[in-house]
Amino acid sequence: MAVTDAAEKRRYRGILLVILVVAGLIRLAFVLQTPAWHAPDEYAHFWIAEQIAREGILPTSTPTFPAYESFQPPLYYWLAALPLKLFPETVVFDQTPQAPPGPLIIVRLLSVLLAVMTIWIAYRFFRLMPGLRPVEALWGVGFMSLLPSFVGTGSTVTNDALVVLPSAICLWLLWQPRANSRTVFWAGVWAGLAVLTKLTGLALLPLAVLRIWQMSDRGWRVAVRRLFLFATGWAGPVSILVVRNVVMYDDWLAIMPGVPGGSGLTAANILRAIRNLTWSFWLALGHGYKVQLTPVVYLLTALPMMLVGLLGWFRVTGRRRLLVAPIGLAVGAAIAGSLTYTFSYPPGTMTSWGKNLFPVLPMIAVGLVVGWHSVWRRYPSAVPAASLATVLAGSLWGLWQLSQLV
């Protein structure tokens, strides 16, 4: 039995290595084939890091190009500024599709590294989840590695490239079988670093509270003490963001300062936000999100994949039921947070709201994979395999579309 287990572990490690290599290669192709500044808001994100590298200070956000993204939390830009210090020349913006210059490629490669690290951490997190089979852990990271929108953010300059990594580390720490007070404290630190990267990291908080309460089987006093330790770790990075916001914008949230009003809660706006949230979770590529599939393709691919994943949960039994509460809470909190964030923007703003779900992307991947795996018990891998083939096709189609622009 021990020999069999060892051989199986080696096989899973080999498959994981293949997934990581494929994830890196497909993102490398996007790095080289996506024309300069033809990823969503890429120059605005790059400009912030460039200003930090050249001037040594955070630029002030204004509604005008290219400073309109400068209100974002600063952690990603501090990190992206480090390799730009190697390039003394300033990169010139040109909207004409052209090959990416060296400094842009270097910062894009940072996103590739962050994405591969995220997928690796996600696998380690999946292996800790009760009721999740080893093969489902591989399906989960396979989905993350090929999801077109995650491929896009993992190969271009955007703070969405970083927010998933500290979120995944937080989840991995909280699901440790022998989690103690120190583990919980550091989980809070990583959750705070996610917020210091993008405000969508706040979606982790309800999930963290639930998990800490579940793991504290020695009574409510232990749970309260651990929640306090998590909050203490979380408050460190978040306090940096709050101080930055108050000092620079006199606003502790500082969401798009200087831009008037948000979208009204009308039926039309809510429907538009939900539609945008759904399609942009699956595929949001290109400048102005011009690389889009026709609605018919979404209805034939993404919609049935979501419905089958949801319906599959009605067949889940035993220990796998332990996954229902954390996955449901994570997805619900992320959607609610995304819609709240969405309605802080002015009416008609075109943006990829699906990326707001990325802090809980590992939970979404698990939810879909377990649902898919539960549909056909005679051929349990048929639906996950078809779903991964679909997202791979979407990524390759997006890559081809972007390469045609040059």
Q: What angle do CA 249, 255, 260 make, to 5 degrees?
A: 90
pLDDT per residue as tens digits for the range 164-193: 999 999 999 999 998 899 999 999 999 999
CB atoms under 10 Å from CB of 209, counted, come to 15
The pTM for the full model equals: 0.95
Going by C-beta distance under 8 Å and a sequence separation of 6 or more, which residues neighbour residue 162? 75, 76, 79, 114, 197, 198
Place of tokens 């189609």: 397
Q: Which residues pair with 285 in a beta bridge?
A: 291
Report, as an integer, the average pLDDT of 100-118.
97
DSSP labels, 362-378: HHHHHHHHHHHHTT-SS
CA distances from 356 to 75, 140, 160, 286, 340 (A): 17, 19, 8, 17, 10
Q: In this structure, are residues 154 and 130 in contact, taking their beta carbons and an 8 Å threshold?
A: no
Q: What is the DSSP string of 176-204?
A: -TT--HHHHHHHHHHHHHHHHH-GGGGGH
Distance of CA 182 to the CA centre of its chain: 26
pLDDT tens profile 188-223:
999 999 999 999 999 999 999 999 998 877 678 889
C-alpha–C-alpha distance, residues 128 and 256, integer Å: 39
Q: What is the pLDDT of residue 4?
A: 59
What does the pLDDT read at residue 341?
75
Q: Check the CA dihedral 165-171-175-178 and report its sign.
A: positive
Residue 321 pLDDT: 86
Supply the mean pLDDT for the chain. 92
380 phi and psi angles, rounded to 5 deg: -65, -20
Q: What Cα–Cα distance (Å) separates residue 44 from each residue in 64, 65, 71, 307? A: 10, 7, 11, 36
Looking at residue 350, what is its pLDDT? 63
pLDDT above 50: residue 1: no
